[in-house]
Amino acid sequence: MDTGFLDAVTKILNEFAQTKLSAQTLELIGPVKEGLNYRWRMMSTRYREVTVLLISKKHFLGKPTPEHFEVHGLDQTKQLAPTLEELQAFLGSSKMALNG
């Protein structure tokens, strides 16, 4: 997996945490490699944990390529195309779910 792509995802999530969660953010953890996939977690004192998964697929005799993003913990669980633009657009328009 291209580290530049992973760094860009981390930057987008960090900016999202700074603007949407502001002072309630405890930490952003990730990317954590899980097999072929990567996971980021945003922890907050006020909101539910937000998890972003980058699901990858390895093609025969090839390198792993991103298949899609899964975002859990916002207004709805959502599956997105594996592009930085779509992830950024979704995060920009999402609403945080309060702890219940």
Span 46-80, pLDDT tens digits: 667 889 999 999 888 888 889 999 998 887 788 99
Mean pLDDT of 79-98: 84
Q: Is 26 a residue whose pLDDT tops 80?
A: no
Mean pLDDT of 14-24: 73
Contact between 50 and 72 under an 8 Å Cβ cutoff? The reply is yes
pTM of the entire structure? 0.82
Q: Of 59, 97, 57, 58, which Cα lies nearest the Cα of 77?
A: 97
Q: 27-53, pLDDT tens digit by residue?
A: 889 899 999 999 999 887 766 788 999
Neighbours of 42 (CB within 10 A): 24
pLDDT the model gives residue 47: 66
Residue 1: pLDDT band (50, 70, 90) is low
